[in-house]
């Protein structure tokens, strides 16, 4: 024991030692500070008085004016005390006693996780629990409250005869978690109570019972387990719907006529393991009785509209990358499979998808060499076809692609940058299409005025000789600097193999957008199933400007030219991916973008594609934003002209907006919306407000979604209240995005 004080008095007759003035005692990691401490050698007790503070070895602080405690700090008694734990939780009581160094009992006590107000220390905390007796067991790591009132802003709102929570230092302990509550139009009001089983330090189980006023009882259970090199989880959920007719007729949630789809269930599992420092193995798999169950009931981690079930193996080391995975896309839609617009039943199994990339450390002929390998094998059980497009072939198909590229940059004395490029790509393909697919392909070919020549196997290759020229030019002014970079590219290639006829499946290059961001791409197709062929030049410029005032600007503008050979973007394929793209003619549409941002948080950008003859707007996007202090605003307008050959017969106009504002330090309000100008319908909108501080958060949201055609409304109300150390109460999930 280490004792420090101004004065030390020994009384041998009464066998006491008294320390007076600036007393500090350190013993076994504990510390006591007081104005006066008297030690009785016979009873081995310390009686401390005058601004007493005890700091236990675990960091817990006890404040009082008078404390009677044993010399090992294990047992004691005090009146009018305050306790602050290392996790910033607080106790106060009229009196308290500590026994065996384990059990602390507070009489007429108060518990909270809110820090006292510095200006008004007597002001009630945002929330607190006032209890006739609080029993803190530091061995079992529990806090038990008896005859308690829960107060919110000083007002009692709930009487709690007996309840128990985990010690704030405990991260995992079995017991009930806070309940949740939610509302959705088709489900009604929902309430759920979870129970957590801390079965061991490495695995646990959570079970939850949910009751919906319209649909009945939904049960959930989730098992989680951790290992030294990873973790996995398994979740199950199920319900027997008591009122399927609350859902719209002819939907997946209600079921087909005569089959009300009353019993619905799911099982999902996720896992990720590090085999070593370079390799990871994992999975994410969802199985359910119907395609929309998890999304309808908001099952955590499985409610995405497009869920990707997959098993994967990845490796990363220096300049090597390996990725092998099997996939199945599951579209959680409310459309019955019997409806021709259903998407889920037309999704293919991807078994497997493979990517490998390698960039050697050593240069080759003074330049950088890179290799890429891609392979995919698909199997689809249902044809995905429309009048002019075959989006997915019923049957199986596969492809193996290898690509090599070399490039080297040369910089002249004048600052010009020349980059020659050589690339070669080759792939082998196989196809086993059903007779229905072949008939559909022939029909689409006839509609498009071309021929179909689908082969069971074929080989393709493409060689590219390229040259890029850039000349970054710096302009400086008194209060600004500017860099203008004219750029020109030339790519010389033979024609794309099998171009002009419906001969090649297109599974991974169906999404295609020509804009300023893709202007200078060597191959503008989004995947390997299509290869850009023919000789092409890309001309344009990039610009960046900075100003001493904090403003910055950037811009890009240019055009692409088909010089020789057959234009791949003008040749139809199974999905007409190049049609109405702006690249189907020898002179492409103009593409450009311009953006500005300021130090005050203002930002704006404008991008677009313009007809190469009339300058008519083909595609455009306008973004405005402000983020300054307590206020954040954003707005976006998007326009895409009709692309009838690509499957979109009408112009598309959409406005999206959002914003949030913080006020009164801890309060904020936020909202967002998306409006379809073509269909004249607010697709989705929502508003909410929230409060957050160090011990309490509150969030309230209201959202609506509307069908673009029928304009039917679905509503959702969500809220969440979090009391630090006690738990969460409210909606487990909400489909409103802040």
Q: Residue 462: pLDDT above 90? A: yes
pLDDT at 238: 96
Region class of 730: left (phi > 0), else alpha (psi between -120 and 50), else beta: left
Tell me which range, 14-28, 176-190, 263-277, 701-715, is most confidently predicted by mean pLDDT. 263-277
pTM of the full structure = 0.80
Q: Residue 735: pLDDT above 50? A: no
d(C-alpha 7, C-alpha 593), whole Å: 80
Q: What is the mean pLDDT of residues 171-177?
A: 79
Q: Which residues contact 200 (CB under 8 A, 6 or more apart)?
A: none
Question: What share of the chain in percent tops pLDDT 70?
Answer: 98
pLDDT at 736: 39
Q: What is the mean pLDDT of residues 126-134?
A: 92
* Residue among 90, 80, 27 nearest 56 (CA): 27
pLDDT at 578: 87
Positive or negative CA dihedral for 287, 290, 293, 295? positive
Between 233 and 681, whose confidence is greater? Answer: 233
pLDDT at 514: 94
The region of weakest confidence among 7-21, 318-332, 405-419, 613-627 is: 7-21
> Is the distance from CB of 135 to CB of 103 less than 8 angstroms?
yes
Instruction: Grade residue 734 by pLDDT with cuts at 50, 70 and 90.
Output: very low
Q: What is the mean pLDDT of residues 32-54?
A: 88
Instruction: Grade residue 712 by pLDDT with cuts at 50, 70 and 90.
Output: confident
Instruction: List, for residues 541-593, the tens digit of each pLDDT value.
Output: 999 999 999 999 999 999 999 999 999 999 888 888 888 899 999 999 999 99
Q: Residue 524: pLDDT above 70? A: yes
Between 165 and 323, whose confidence is greater? Answer: 323
pLDDT at 261: 62
Q: Residue 257: pLDDT above 70? A: no
The region of weakest confidence among 41-45, 311-315, 460-464, 557-561 is: 41-45
CA distance to 98, 173, 695, 728, per residue, from 165 (Å): 19, 9, 16, 13
- What residue ranges define each of the domains in the chain, with the CATH number in brackets? 2-119+127-147 (2.60.450.10), 655-738 (no CATH)
The separation between CA 58 and the C-alpha centre of its own chain, rounded to angstroms, equals 37
Tell me which range, 63-72, 83-92, 221-230, is most confidently predicted by mean pLDDT. 221-230
Q: Residue 137: pLDDT above 50? A: yes
d(C-alpha 539, C-alpha 517), whole Å: 13
Q: Across the chain, what does the average pLDDT equal?
A: 89
Instruction: List, for residues 191-228, the tens digit of each pLDDT value.
Output: 888 999 989 989 999 999 999 999 999 999 999 999 99
Question: What share of the chain in percent tops pLDDT 90?
Answer: 54
The region of weakest confidence among 48-62, 345-359, 721-735 is: 721-735
Alpha helices in 165-305 (DSSP H): 293-296
Task: Please provide the size of the chain in residues.
Answer: 738
Positive or negative CA dihedral for 562, 566, 567, 570? positive
Count CB neighbours of 442 within 10 A: 14
Q: What is the mean pLDDT of residues 705-724?
A: 80
Task: Find residue 446's DSSP bridge partners.
Answer: none
pLDDT at 260: 58
CB burial readout 489-505, b (16+ within 10 A) else e: bbbbbebbebbbebbbb
Enclosing H/E stretch for 43:
none
The region of weakest confidence among 125-139, 252-266, 273-287 is: 252-266
């Amino acid at each position: 024991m280490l004792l420090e004080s101004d004065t030390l008095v020994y009384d041998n007759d009464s066998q006491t030692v008294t320390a007076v003035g600036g007393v500090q005692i350190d013993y076994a990691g504990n510390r006591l500070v007081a104005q006066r401490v008297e030690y009785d050698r016979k009873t081995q007790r310390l009686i401390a008085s005058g601004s007493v503070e005890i700091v236990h070895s675990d960091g817990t602080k006890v404040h009082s004016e008078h404390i009677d405690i044993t010399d090992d700090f294990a047992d004691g008694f005090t009146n009018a005390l305050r306790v602050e734990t290392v996790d910033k939780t607080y106790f106060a009581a009229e009196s308290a006693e500590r026994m065996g160094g384990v059990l602390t009992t507070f009489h007429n006590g108060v518990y909270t996780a809110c820090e006292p107000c510095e200006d008004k220390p007597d002001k009630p905390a945002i929330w607190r629990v006032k209890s006739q007796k609080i029993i803190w067991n530091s061995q079992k790591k529990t806090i038990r409250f008896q005859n308690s009132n829960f107060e919110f802003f000083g007002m009692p709102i709930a009487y709690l005869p007996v309840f128990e929570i985990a010690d704030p230092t405990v991260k995992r302990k079995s017991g009930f978690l806070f309940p949740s509550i939610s509302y959705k139009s088709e489900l009604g009001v929902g309430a759920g109570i979870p129970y957590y089983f801390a079965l061991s330090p490495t695995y646990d189980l959570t079970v939850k019972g949910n009751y919906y006023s319209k649909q009945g009882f939904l049960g959930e259970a989730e098992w989680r387990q951790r290992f030294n090199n990873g973790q996995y989880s398994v979740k199950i959920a199920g319900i027997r719907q008591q009122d399927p007719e609350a859902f719209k007729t002819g939907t997946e949630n209600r079921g087909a006529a005569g089959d009300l789809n009353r019993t619905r269930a799911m099982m999902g599992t996720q896992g990720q393991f590090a085999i070593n420092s370079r390799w990871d193995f994992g999975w994410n798999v969802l199985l359910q009785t119907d395609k929309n169950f998890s999304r309808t009931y908001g099952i955590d981690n499985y409610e995405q509209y497009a869920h990707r079930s997959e098993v994967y193996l990845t490796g990363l080391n220096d300049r090597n990358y390996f990725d092998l995975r099997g996939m199945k896309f599951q579209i959680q839609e409310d459309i019955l499979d019997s409806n021709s617009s259903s998407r889920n039943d037309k999704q293919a199994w991807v078994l497997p998808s493979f990517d490998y990339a390698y960039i050697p450390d050593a240069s080759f002929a003074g330049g950088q060499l890179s290799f890429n390998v891609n392979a995919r094998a698909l199997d689809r059980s249902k044809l995905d076809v429309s009048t002019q497009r075959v989006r997915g072939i019923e049957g199986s198909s596969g492809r193996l692609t290898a690509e090599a590229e070399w490039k080297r940059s040369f910089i002249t004395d004048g600052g010009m940058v020349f980059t020659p490029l050589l690339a070669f790509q080759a792939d082998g393909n196989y196809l086993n299409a059903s007779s229905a697919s072949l008939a559909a392909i022939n029909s689409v070919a006839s509609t498009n005025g071309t021929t179909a020549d689908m082969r069971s196997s074929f080989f393709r290759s493409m060689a590219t000789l390229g040259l890029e020229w850039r000349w970054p030019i710096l302009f400086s002014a008194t209060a600004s600097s500017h860099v203008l970079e004219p750029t020109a590219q030339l790519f010389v290639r033979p024609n794309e193999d099998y171009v002009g006829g419906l001969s090649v499946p297109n599974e991974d290059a169906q999404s295609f957008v020509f804009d300023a961001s893709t202007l200078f791409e060597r191959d503008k197709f989004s995947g390997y199933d299509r290869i850009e062929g023919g000789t092409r030049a890309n001309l344009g410029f990039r610009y960046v400007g900075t100003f001493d005032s904090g403003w910055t600007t950037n811009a890009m503008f240019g055009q692409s030219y088909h010089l020789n050979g057959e234009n791949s973007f003008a040749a139809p394929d199974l999905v007409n991916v190049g049609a109405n793209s702006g690249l189907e003619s020898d002179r492409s549409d103009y593409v450009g973008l311009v953006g500005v941002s300021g130090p005050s948080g203002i930002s704006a950008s404008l991008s677009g594609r313009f007809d190469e003859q009339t300058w008519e707007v083909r595609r455009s996007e306008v973004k405005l934003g402000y983020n300054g202090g307590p206020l954040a605003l954003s707005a976006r307008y998007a326009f895409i002209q009709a692309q009838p050959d690509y499957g979109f017969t009408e112009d598309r106009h959409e406005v999206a907006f959002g914003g949030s504002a913080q006020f009164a330090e801890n309060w904020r309000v936020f909202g967002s919306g998306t409006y379809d100008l073509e269909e004249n319908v607010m697709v989705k909108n929502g508003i909410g407000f929230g409060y957050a501080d160090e011990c309490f958060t509150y969030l309230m949201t209201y959202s609506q979604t509307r069908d673009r055609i029928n304009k039917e409304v679905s509503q959702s109300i969500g809220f969440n209240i979090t009391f630090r150390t006690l738990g969460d109460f409210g909606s487990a999930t909400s489909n409103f995005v802040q």
